[in-house]
Amino acid sequence: MKDAEFGLPIIGVTMNRDDSTVAFLRADGKEARFPLEASPFPETSTVASLHWTPTDDSFTGPALLAITVTGDTVAFELPSSDDDEQLAGRPVVYLDQNQWSTLSKASDTSSRIPVEDRQAALRLAELAYSGALVLPASSGHYHETTKWPDDAARYQLGLTILQLSRGWQLRDPLQVRRDEIRASYEQMFFGGPAPRARSVVSLMPDVLHGPARGGPSVAAPLDFPPDFAAAYKALLSATVSIDVMLDRNHIPYTAPTGWVRVNQELSDWLDQQPLDSQQKRKSVDNALLHDLQRELAEEAQSSGIAAKQMSEWLWQHPARLPALPALGLFREVLHDRHLNRGLTWKPNDLTDMLYLSTAAAYADVVVCERTMGSALQRGLARLGRTTPVFRRLSEAVPAIERLLDARDQPVTPASP
C-alpha cells in the first residue's frame, strides 16, 4: 500500500474511537490524520482503537492490533499468502471449550485448577504467544463464549481465545465436509487425489462460517484494486471477529432441540432392536446419509457428475466415507454414540462432534473432555489414524513439546 502522491509505502493505519479519526503513517515518518464520517464502533463495543501494519517482524506477514477500552491488546496475523505457507510447519493444537476455560483462568491463582494443569496452561500460552504453534479458534468457540451471561468471565475467556489464536481459525466443519465430499467425487470419477479439504486451519476471511449457512460474505468496494480489496476483506473479517467476541452484551442461547430429539429417538429405537453391531451401524449410516442428502446432491451438481454416478458413489459409501478425514471420523463417533446403550443426547453433543472430528482430522493434537475424547480415540483407532487426543493440558503439553523438538531436528540425508 503506497501514498498516492509520493509513492512511499504506508506502514501503518490507526483508527481511534475517542477522537473518531483515522491516521496513515508513511515510511518517512510523516502522518496524515482524517476525521471519520461515522464511527465504526457500536455503543456496546469494547474496542478503543485498531492499528494495521502491512508487515510485522513478530508475525509471518501483515498484522492487526486491537486495543480495548480497558487497555487489553489483541494481535492477529493476517493473510499474505497461501495459508499452508503461513503455517510454516508450525504444529496445530485444537482445544475444546473447557481447555480454553483452563487457559483463561490459569493466571488467576485463586481459581480451582490443579497445579500441573495451571503450569501446563501457562506453558502452552507461552508457546502460542511466541508463535511456535497455532491454537485455532472455531465458530464453536465463538458460539459458546458469546452466549455466556457472566460479563466479566465472558470477556476474559473471549480475550484469551483471541490473544492466543492470533487470528488463526478452524474452517466451518459444515464447509469442510462439503469440500471432502466434492473431493471424493473428483477422486472417484475424475482421477483426483485422495479426498482432503484444503486450508482447514486458516487466516482467510469468511472461513468461520461457510457459504452454506447463508450469511453474507465480506465484500470490498468495487473500485478497490485486487491487493487492497484482499487486505480490506481480511481486516474487516478480523475486526468483526474481535468485536463480536468482546462485545459487552451476550447473545441469547437457543438449544438445537430438533437435532437432539432425532438422535435420541434413533438411539432409543436401536436399543430395542435385536440387531448386531454391524446391522446397527448400517442403520446409523442410513440416518447419516439422509442428513447429508442436500450436501451430497449440491456437491454432485457442482462437480458435474450425473445422477447415475452419484448413485454409484452412494452404493460404495461404506468404502468412500472412511477415506474422508473429518466426515469419516464424524461417522465413527456417531456410530460409537448410537451403539452406546441408554445414551442420553445433549444439545452440545452436536457442537462437540462436528468440531472435534474436524479438528482431530486436520490438527496435530486435540485436547478435549473425557467422554468425547474417548469416542474420538476409538474412532481414530478404527480408521487406523494416530492423531493424539488428550483429556488434560498437563498430559498434552509434554507431547506438544516433544513434537516441537522433533520438528526442530535437522533432517539427516539418506545414505546412498
Q: What is the pLDDT of residues 94-106, one digit of tens each?
A: 999 999 999 999 9
In a domain, 110, yes or no: yes
Percent of the chain with pLDDT over 90: 72
In a domain, 402, yes or no: yes
Average pLDDT, the chain: 90
Tell me, rounded to whole angstroms, the distance of Cα 317 from its chain centroid.
Answer: 27
Q: Which of 326, 333, 321, 329 is nearest to 374 (CA)?
A: 333
Tell me the mean pLDDT in the region 63-75.
Answer: 95
pLDDT for the residue numbered 19: 87
Domain of residue 401: give its range: 89-220+252-416
In a domain, 226, yes or no: no
Q: b/e for 196-228, b at 16 or more Cβ within 10 A?
A: bbebbbbbbbbbbbbeeeeeeeeebeeeeeeee
CB 145 within 8 A of CB 158: yes
pLDDT for the residue numbered 229: 86
pLDDT for the residue numbered 110: 84
CA separation for the pair 139, 212 (Å, rounded)? 14
Model confidence over 344-377: pLDDT tens digits? 999 889 889 999 999 999 999 999 999 999 999 9
Give the confidence band of 409 by pLDDT, cuts at 50, 70, 90: low
DSSP label at residue 321:
G
Other beta carbons within 10 angstroms of residue 347's beta carbon come to: 13
DSSP state letters, 73-84: EEEEE---S-HH
Has residue 169 got a pLDDT over 90? yes
Has residue 269 got a pLDDT over 70? yes
Helices (H) and strands (E) in the chain, counts: 16, 11
Mean pLDDT comparison of 88-92, 212-216, 360-364, highest-scoring range: 360-364
Domains: count for the chain: 1
Place of cell 488428550: 390
CA separation for the pair 87, 407 (Å, rounded)? 13
In a domain, 35, yes or no: no
| Stretch among 30-39, 176-185, 341-350 having the lowest mean pLDDT | 30-39
pLDDT for the residue numbered 8: 61
Tell me, rounded to whole angstroms, the distance of Cα 80 from its chain centroid.
Answer: 19
CB 244 within 8 A of CB 88: no
pLDDT for the residue numbered 201: 96
Has residue 59 got a pLDDT over 70? no
Q: Which of 44, 134, 98, 167 is nearest to 368 (CA)?
A: 98
Give the confidence band of 416 by pLDDT, cuts at 50, 70, 90: very low
Residues in the chain: 416
Tell me the mean pLDDT in the region 258-283.
Answer: 95
Q: Which residue has the higher pLDDT, 270 or 408?
A: 270
| Stretch among 240-244, 355-359, 406-410 having the lowest mean pLDDT | 406-410
In a domain, 310, yes or no: yes
Please give the sequence-ordered ranges of beta strands (E in DSSP) within 27-114, or none if there are none: 31-35, 47-53, 63-68, 73-77, 93-95
Q: Residue 214 — left, alpha, or beta (φ > 0 → left; ψ -120 to 50 → alpha)?
A: left
In a domain, 74, yes or no: no
CA separation for the pair 181, 197 (Å, rounded)? 9
Which residues make Cβ contacts (< 8 Å) with residue 227, sequence separation at least 6?
Answer: 1
CB 373 within 8 A of CB 102: no
By CB neighbour count within 10 A (0-12 exposed, 13-18 middle, 19+ buried), where does 232 fall? middle
pLDDT for the residue numbered 331: 98
In a domain, 70, yes or no: no
pLDDT for the residue numbered 226: 85
pLDDT for the residue numbered 411: 40
pLDDT for the residue numbered 253: 85
Percent of the chain with pLDDT over 70: 94
pLDDT for the residue numbered 224: 84
Other beta carbons within 10 angstroms of residue 176's beta carbon come to: 28
Q: Which of 48, 50, 12, 52 is nearest to 30 (CA)?
A: 12
Angle between helical axes of 307-315 and 293-303 (0-180°, round to 10): 130
Q: Is 236 helix (H, G, I), strand (E, B) or coil?
A: helix
pLDDT for the residue numbered 412: 39
pLDDT for the residue numbered 6: 46
Element (H, E) at 318: helix 317-320
Give the confidence band of 7 by pLDDT, cuts at 50, 70, 90: low
Give the confidence band of 180 by pLDDT, cuts at 50, 70, 90: very high
Has residue 60 got a pLDDT over 60? no
Please give the sequence-ordered ranges of beta strands (E in DSSP) within 325-410, or none if there are none: 365-367, 389-390
Element (H, E) at 12: strand 10-16
In a domain, 48, yes or no: no
Has residue 401 got a pLDDT over 80? yes
Give the confidence band of 271 by pLDDT, cuts at 50, 70, 90: very high
CA separation for the pair 91, 400 (Å, rounded)? 8
Other beta carbons within 10 angstroms of residue 384's beta carbon come to: 7
Q: Which of 79, 75, 78, 87 is nearest to 132 (CA)?
A: 87
